[in-house]
Homo-oligomer: A and B are copies of this chain.
Amino acid sequence: MNPLQELLIQLEANALWQEDLVLERNEFLNHSGTINTNLYFVESGSLRIFYLDEAEEHTIRFGYQNSFFGALDSFIKEEPSVYNIQALKKAELKVVSKDAFMNLVNSTIENQRLWQGILGEIVFQQMEREIDLLTFSPQERYRRVLKRSPQLFQEIPNKYIAAYLRMTPETFSRIKKS
């Protein structure tokens, strides 16, 4: 079992969810400039996290079924997030506050070690993402992300995966077929 699943079971067992939330397709969970320190578990549906630079949208992360996500900058710093979070399909989410989550994390040494492992995994994924962004070849970017996150290709519409991979939808289709 991975560390997030272990914490998930404890969140359930201790009834730490704050609320259930349903987002319709295209609805926003979060706009940039607002503080949102919650973590979310995706029961169904999918979402994207994007950043606006000079009116250009940069999709930088996805949330999909059975994954955790949040406005991580705000979660860490407790300051306004730079990210927008929007449902790509109707999404059912469970919400846990940072306080409730961190109390659970800090309640036992075992949980602290689980959280260390999760943070280490996030750092590693961010390093992978940095290399993705620096990789010149579209084919190589595609190959790297397919290997790392096959679920993404099942659950997310092509145009958003293409944006995440920094290529046109046409290039994405061409590489996908080849």
Interface residues, chain A, with chain B CB atoms under 8 Å away: 51, 53-54, 56, 58, 60, 72-73, 76-77, 82, 105-106, 109, 112-113, 115-116, 119-124, 126-127, 129-131, 133-137
- Smallest CB-CB separation from A123: which chain B residue? B122
Give which listed residue, B123, B124, B133, contacts A133 with CB less than 8 A.
Answer: B133
Complex CA–CA separation, A170 to B78 (angstroms) = 38
Given A112-B112, A130-B129, check contact A76 B120 (CB 8 Å): yes
Give which listed residue, B76, B124, B126, B136, contacts A130 with CB less than 8 A.
Answer: B126
Name A's interface SS.
Answer: helix
Taking a contact as CB atoms under 8 Å apart, the answer to whether A124 and B51 are in contact is no
Taking a contact as CB atoms under 8 Å apart, the answer to whether B72 and A134 are in contact is no
Taking a contact as CB atoms under 8 Å apart, the answer to whether A127 and B56 are in contact is no
- Smallest CB-CB separation from A133: which chain B residue? B133
A119 to chain B, nearest CB (A): 4
Taking a contact as CB atoms under 8 Å apart, the answer to whether B123 and A53 are in contact is no
A65 to chain B, nearest CB (A): 23
Complex CA–CA separation, A157 to B161 (angstroms) = 37
Give which listed residue, B56, B76, B106, B136, contacts A53 with CB less than 8 A.
Answer: B136
Give which listed residue, B112, B113, B127, B133, contacts A134 with CB less than 8 A.
Answer: B133
B residues less than 8 Å from A124 (CB atoms)? 72-73, 76-77
Taking a contact as CB atoms under 8 Å apart, the answer to whether A127 and B126 are in contact is yes
